[in-house]
Structure 1
């Protein structure tokens, strides 16, 4: 591989915005990729993937390069040099990369890679917390799996298309796909491609959604004609999936505390041909009280630490703080306690997170079931999904039925 100056400099700019100015990696990369309209898919891929990889292994590379925050531009080039050397990429004769100690980098890598928290680039507190929660054997595997770049998975929009026909259409565009075991509407790309520019995406034939995330909506066991509430809808990936499973029949209510997210959901819903959905902003408790005892199904895709999706959001492990985990657990308890009141007798609820911590998952459900109102619910089933076992995002789902 030959390194091009303008592409490498774009990576350095992105790292500066992420590491020194606390920018979110996805937003930063989106911004940096607009620097030069002449960049092709390969150029853009190099910038995005290299930036993500250095963010992913920030701690390890920093230890090897012997640099720390705040990172000067020279230090960012040292991080880049570590990345290149470890991949066997010849370094060009640039001033910024001169005197790179290639042998020392390789030696330090061999030495530091024996220590998990350095090898997998995890903050001390997080490494300790996850080992205690999951056990050493599982956390060894999971910490490594969460550093593997996430694959691109599509969900067929069955309101417009079946999976077989979608696969043929994509194949005609030279987009190779393969099916995913256990996710009935999923197609995984054989090679990374920008599918958002395709006519198939623009006309709503599919959505991009990880295979683990695609398991949540079917877990709720919805049927056409029901009243279904997605109470933490966000931008609505699971809402759209619910609409498809309901065959556009019945009432689907998408709720969130952020109006901006619901506006984006409306745009996506139009593209997907969803007609049975309405959005409601949760401005206060009244929005929830109006639906007390009226929903056949309620989805609580609760806010969480996001530890199950580090493959696609690697910068979040550097932003996450122990205090946040404690705070979000309180939010989860409140949501479960208050929002579950929307479920009518005989109705069902799914509590889900994209976390791998039992304290956000099984322990939250147990806490709820032991509460006064939670005693009217029965746990039907629950599932913990780990990246090291599934190859997809870490997730948790629990299905509860209101019996009282």
Structure 2
């Protein structure tokens, strides 16, 4: 019989060693396994929990090794990681069972000798669970240990937001995300979809901010529901829903979406425009455009044209052509760590710096495509100010024919409104971290 913990180790090897996406790898391995629903749930819990708390877990393991983490084979290291996670963060499995399972896995993956090392490390940790301790004189070290984030990222947030907000951000990024769907107004009303989901056995709740949002509190996979297949809703985080809502859309506009994949915001624009007007959706990869096209068909949308284009390269044919331009620019994704925890470990400061040039190039191109009186909507799913407000301030300082139009989404303890008019959405149980800014062309 297939073992849920072995599947978890295989997923983690792919995520940590091969930089694979956790959600894609986990889904693929679960779908090819013969695990029952309970074991699949346990595997999912172990995978995401271990990735989330990797920093703290690795510090614990390292404290019980003479030669350090680098001396371990990848499979043995990941067996130890999932075991420490279960012992420290879960209470559903007895410690002795975790140890026995880990020892058997180590024998299968490596050798009897490796299993003895695994046994020794885990039993020593159970005897001395407080052996690893952070530098109590360093608030950075304390936050790294408590929330399990790499030091460079904690330093970045602390420098940009201060210690109090950084703790709020780190806590939010560790929250378990809920599933939220956006009602397709082209096919049904909000109440009709809400009630249909209830009839289908889902426990649902109204969204926090966006009027089209429904939170799925409990129920089977929403993607396996016939309501999804028939296009009554799109799975989308509520933060992302606010992007199209910020664009001041109406029927018969000409809209450009320069970085459209995977298409959630593109389809939302079409729905708000009541399937009228013209929307051109661009992306650099053909396979991503095919994904958008399949969603357009599912949702009954026919006013969107999909085309390959690199948003960084200026396209003369689009000059002064658009009433609205959406640029949901490529970013570091630091606001969506609660859904993709491997971002903590797969990003670096150098990668963040390289993105800024790309984002500014796209923003400059968008400024040439928008008509006088039209607007650009700039958004990211990161919390790095260099990719967000610093880009906006750079653009406004160098382009006096544009101004920021203030946005307001109501009150919320995770909404940071700037005096300039842009909005930062802090991550919490219900929403991803996001940045949204609306820029109007004056002349």
User: Shorter-chain TM-score: what band?
Assistant: over 0.9
Alignment of 1:19-30 (within 5 A): 19-30=16-27
- CA separation in 2, counterparts of 1:285 and 1:302? 10
SS of aligned partner of 2:290 = helix
State the secondary structure of the residue aligned to 2:238. coil
Once the two structures are TM-superposed, the CA of residue 5 in structure 1 deviates from its matched residue by: 6.7
291, 301, 313: which one aligns with 2:340: 313
Shift of 1:325: 0.6
Q: Look up the match of 2:247.
A: 220
Superposition pairs for residues 4-403 of structure 1, below 5 Å? 6-36=3-33, 38-66=34-62, 68=69, 71-86=73-88, 87-88=90-91, 89-91=93-95, 92=97, 93-94=100-101, 95-96=103-104, 98-99=119-120, 100-101=122-123, 102-104=125-127, 106-108=129-131, 115-191=142-218, 193-283=220-310, 288-371=315-398, 374-381=399-406, 382-388=422-428, 391-403=430-442
**Displacement after TM superposition at 1:367 (Å):** 0.4
Q: May I ask how many residue pairs the two structures share in their alignment?
A: 397
CA shift at 1:80, angstroms? 1.6
* Aligned counterparts of 1:285 and 1:112: Cα–Cα separation in 2: 44
Instruction: Tell me the secondary structure at the aligned position of residue 130 of structure 1.
Output: helix
Over 3 Å counting, the alpha-carbon distance change for 1:204 and 1:116 in structure 2 is same
TM-aligned CA deviation for residue 347 of structure 1: 0.6
| Structure 1 residue 119, shift from structure 2 partner | 2.1
Q: Contact between 1:19 and 1:71, CA under 8 Å: does it hold in 2?
A: no
CA contact (8 A) 1:152 1:192 kept: no
Shift of 1:110: 7.0
Task: Calculate the TM-score normalised by the size of structure 2.
Answer: 0.85
- Note closer, same or farther for the CA distance 1:183–1:285 as it changes in structure 2 (3 Å cut): closer
Q: Is the 8 A contact 1:176 1:189 kept in 2?
A: yes
Q: Is the CA contact (8 Å cut-off) linking 1:228 and 1:295 kept in structure 2?
A: yes
Cα pair distance change 1:192/1:80, threshold 3 Å: farther
1:286 and 1:324 map into 2 onto residues whose CA distance is 20
Q: Work out the CA distance in 2 between the residues paired with 1:193 and 1:168.
A: 16
Unaligned stretches of 5+ residues in structure 2: 63-67, 105-117, 407-421
Q: Find the residue that maps to 1:290 and give its secondary structure.
A: helix
Deviation at 1:109, TM superposition (A): 6.5
Q: 1:191 to 1:243 in 2, by over 3 A?
A: same
- SS of 1:387's equivalent in the other structure is coil
- The C-alpha deviation readout for 1:170-211, integer Å capped at 9, x for no partner, is 111111110012111001111263111110111111111011
Looking at structure 1, the residues matched to 128 and 341 of structure 2 have their Cα atoms a distance apart, in angstroms, of 23
Shift of the 115–289 alpha-carbon distance from structure 1 to 2, 3 Å rule, reads same
CA displacement, residues 224-270 of structure 1 (integer Å, 9 cap, x when unaligned) = 11001111101111001000000000001101122221111000110
Shift in CA distance, 321/284, structure 1 to aligned 2, threshold 3 Å? closer
Aligned to 2:109: none
Answer yes or no: is the 8 Å Cα contact 2:22–2:340 preserved in 1: yes
**After superposition, what is the alpha-carbon deviation per residue over 1:37-60, rounded to whole angstroms, capped at 9, x for unaligned?**
x43333322212220110111111
Aligned partners of 1:134 and 1:357 also within 8 Å: no
Query: Are the counterparts in 1 of residues 11 and 29 from structure 2 also a CA contact under 8 Å?
Result: yes
Give the root-mean-square deviation of aligned CA atoms.
2.1
